[in-house]
Copies of this chain bind each other. A is one copy, B any other.
Amino acid sequence: MKTADAMAPWATANKLAWAPLMFHAAKAARDLKVLLAVEQAKGGATREEVAATTNLSLYAAGVLLDTCEAMDLLERKEDRFRLLPAGWLVEHDPMTRIHMDFNADCNYRGAEFLKESLVTGKPVGLKTLSGAPHIYEALSELPEPAKTSWFKFDHFYSDQVFPLAKPMVLQRKPKSLLDVGGNTGKFALLMGADVPVTILDHPGQLNVAMANAKAAGLQERVKGIEMDLLDHSRPFPANQDAVWMSQFVCCFGLDDIVALLRRGAQALSKDGRLYVLDTFWDRQKNPVAAYCLHATSLYFTAMANGTSRIYSAPDLIACAKKAGLVVEEDLSVGHSHTLLVCKPG
C-alpha cells in the first residue's frame, strides 16, 4: 500500500495487526502459483486469466490478487496485475523462501506461546513440535515439514560461510579440531581431510553426523563424542589446536555461553585458538538482515530454548572476556557472519 507520511504509522501498526492472515495469503499466492502466473503472463494478467492458469476459482484468484496488491507484491493497472519486486522475492529469492517456510512449518503454531515463553524462560512453543525440553534434543526427530524447513534454514546460513571460514582456520595448521555442537557434521566433513575432527553433540545429531562421515569415507578422520553440553562439570577433550563454535553460542543464555567458552578455553593446546562463528545483529550490512536476525531471536525464545537469542558482537566479546579469553582477530565472513578468533588472555 502507498501511504502519505502521516498514515505511515497506521500502516505499520495495522500490517502487524493483520500479519497472520496476510502471511498465509502471501504464502498461498506463492504455493498456488498465483505469483508465477502473473509473472509469466506478458503484459500482466487479469483475474480470469490467473484463475484459468492456476485452476483456482475466480473467487480464490480474486482474493489472492487483491491481497497481494495490498501487500505490494503485485500492482494493478485497470484490470491487469503485474509482479512487483517484492513479489519476485517471495517467489524466487531462496532466502525469503527459506524464511517463509521456516516460519510456516516450524514456528507458526509455537509463536502463539511467545508471551508465555518470555515470562517463563522456557520454549513453550516447542510443544507444538516435540515433547523435548529444548529443540536440540529433538532435531533429528522433528515431524515433517518442520524438520526439512529447520535444516534448510540452518544450512542456508552455514553452507555459504563454511568454505570461506575453512582457510581462516587452516592457516594456523591445526593438528586437531574440536567441533562443539557439530550438528549434522557439515563443517567436520569439510575439514576432515585436512585435520582430524572430534564432534561434540546430542546423540540424535551425532548419529546423523557419524552416518554422514561414513558416507563420505571420513570415518577415520571424524569422531563423535556424545555430551550434554549444558553439563558444565564435564570438561571437553583436551589439547585441541582449534575449538570451533559455529552458530552455537546463539543457542544459549549468557551465563551458559561464558561456561561453554571457559570449557573450550580449557581444552586448548598451548598455541590453540577458539573460533566463534556467528551472526551478530549489530554487524549487518543492511537493515533487512538485522530485522531477520531480531526475528530469529523470537524463534530461540518460543521454540528453541527460551533463554537465547541473536546477540550483538559486544555481548559476545564480553562473554569471552569473562571466560578468560581475548579476541585476537575479529573478521567479517560472507554476507552476515563474524568470526571471532580467541586465545587465552
Contact = CB atoms under 8 A, between A and B. Distances in A.
A287 interface: yes
A240 to B, nearest CB: 31
A85 B20 contact: no
Question: Helix, strand, loop or mixed for chain A's interface?
Answer: helix
Interface in A19-51: 19-28, 31-32
Interface in A260-304: 281, 286-288, 290-292, 294-295, 297-299, 301-302
A9 interface: yes
Interface in A30-86: 31-32, 56-57, 59-60, 62-64, 66-67, 69-73, 84-86
A334 B94 CA distance: 45
A118 B292 contact: no
Contacts of A89: 9-10, 12-14
A19 B22 contact: yes
Interface stretch (A100-108, A164-172, A173-181, A196-204): A100-108
Q: How many copies of the polypeptide does the oligomer hold?
A: 2
Interface residues of A, number: 81
A20 B331 CA distance: 33
Interface stretch (A109-117, A135-143, A205-213): A109-117
B298 A86 contact: no
A159 interface: no
Given A3-B288, A12-B71, A67-B294, A114 B21 contact: yes
Contacts of A299: 21
A12 B298 contact: no
Contacts of A114: 21, 24-25, 28
6 contacts: A1-B287, A7-B286, A20-B23, A21-B103, A27-B115, A66-B297
Interface of A: 1-3, 7-28, 31-32, 56-57, 59-60, 62-64, 66-67, 69-73, 84-86, 88-90, 93, 95-96, 99-100, 103-104, 107-109, 111-112, 114-115, 118-119, 121, 253, 281, 286-288, 290-292, 294-295, 297-299, 301-302, 307, 309
| 9 tightest Cβ-Cβ pairs between the two chains A and B | A9-B85, A17-B99, A12-B86, A18-B295, A19-B19, A13-B89, A19-B23, A9-B86, A60-B118
